[in-house]
Amino acid sequence: MSKSPLADTLSEKTLLLDHGSGGHASSRLIGNLFFRHFDNPILNAMNDAARLDMCGPISMSTDSYTVDPLFFPGGDIGTLAVHGTVNDVAMMGARPRYLSCGFILEEGLPMETLERIVVSMAAAASEAGVVIVTGDTKVVPRGAVDKVFINTTGLGEIIADPAPAGNCARPGDAVLVSGTMGDHGLTVLSGREGLNFSTDIRSDSAPLNHMVEALVTQVGDIHVLRDPTRGGLATTLNEIAGQSGVVIHMREADVPVRESVRNGCSFLGLDPLYLANEGKLICILPQEKAQAALELMRSMPYGENAVQVGTVRDAADGPGKAGQVVLETPLGGHRLLGMLEGEQLPRIC
């Protein structure tokens, strides 16, 4: 294994409590790691807060990431921390611009592990077109935290007018998804348990903000945007149906699921409709705009498998009541698709 560049500039090979003390050790860590990889004028000003230039309506979101394992096929905790918050900000029809990041680090963490995560975060932020402008680092004693926890907060300018929101689904709307369901959740589970279902199972962790901006500016009239993370597609659609007071009718045969994910879920007794995704979005808009939105998504990275999976209906048109999701089975029957009860898979994001 090649020697970490960070190891050349710090005498310590692992994190010490001193690295969170605010003294010389902290200064060396911040300068030789975070500033080097997150380099930008706002961060480099080294003030107590970042001076930002923004105007108009703003989208803001924060999330904390505690995934286990830290590294998995298709990503790591660093990419998740950037993609997750960027995507949440974007789902308001916004253009994400700035991120903050806070690290809670366990004493004894190898420096090479931390640097690998920071490098991933820098690359993910660059692809998304956002800048990490402020942050914080705390080092806690062994056992007080499991290796690395990261919090990121994002800010972006809302460019959609009106902005999409969970209470804006209307009867007659089409329900689209940008790709296959369940990839991330099963990837993390298989990595944690050492399972090997198939070589093509990998996380879908990805920035969706460029796709969102294209949908908003080129298609328009987007009623709802959501990324179906924890709780998966089923739980997210239930949230939307409840907020909008409508029935969402979904055809099970139309939901894209990779064969390897379907087989893995069958083996473990999991439902891919409830597994987390970290690089997929739900788009609800008028049916007459569905085809244009699908063609646009399929032309972009991370949207090649976009499909329509359902429609929004008035409760009077049945089956189902306002706030419910009704799943049509391949045999033509119907069943209610409820929200996830409890935690199907802990620490997946």
What is the number of alpha carbons within 13 Å of residue 112 lying toward its C-beta? 7
Check residue 6 and give its pLDDT: 55
For residues 325 and 247, what is the distance between their CA atoms, to the nearest angstrom? 6
For residues 13 and 110, what is the distance between their CA atoms, to the nearest angstrom? 6
Phi, psi dihedrals of residue 50, rounded to the nearest 5°: -90, 135
Q: Strand, coil or helix: what is 89? A: helix
For residues 59 and 130, what is the distance between their CA atoms, to the nearest angstrom? 14
Whether the predicted model's global pTM rises above the 0.75 cut: yes
> What angle, 0 to 180 degrees and rounded to 10, lies between the N-to-C axes of helices 183-193 and 259-268?
50
For residues 225 and 302, what is the distance between their CA atoms, to the nearest angstrom? 16
Residue 143, judged by CB atoms within 10 A of its CB (0-12, 13-18, 19+), counts as exposed
Give me the tens of pLDDT residue by residue for the chain, a chain 349 residues long. 444 555 555 557 899 998 988 888 899 899 999 999 999 999 999 999 999 999 999 999 999 999 999 999 999 999 999 999 999 999 999 999 999 999 999 999 999 999 999 999 999 999 999 999 999 999 999 999 999 999 999 999 999 999 999 999 999 999 999 999 999 999 999 888 777 765 678 999 999 999 999 999 999 999 999 999 999 999 999 999 999 999 999 999 999 999 999 999 998 889 999 999 999 999 999 999 999 999 999 999 999 999 999 999 998 987 899 999 999 999 989 999 998 877 777 888 8
Rg (the chain; Cα; Å)? 21
For residues 65 and 84, what is the distance between their CA atoms, to the nearest angstrom? 9
Cα distances (angstroms) measured from residue 276 to each of 73, 150, 182, 189, 315 = 15, 18, 6, 11, 28
Cα distances (angstroms) measured from residue 213 to each of 57, 87, 146, 209, 290 = 15, 11, 36, 6, 16
CA proximity to 105, closest of 150, 69, 70:
150
Check residue 274 and give its pLDDT: 95
Look at the block and give the residue holding tokens 């692809």. 127
Look at the block and give the residue holding tokens 């420096």. 111
Beta strands, E only, the chain: 58-65, 71-72, 75-76, 94-106, 131-140, 148-158, 173-177, 224-226, 247-251, 282-286, 307-313, 325-328, 334-336
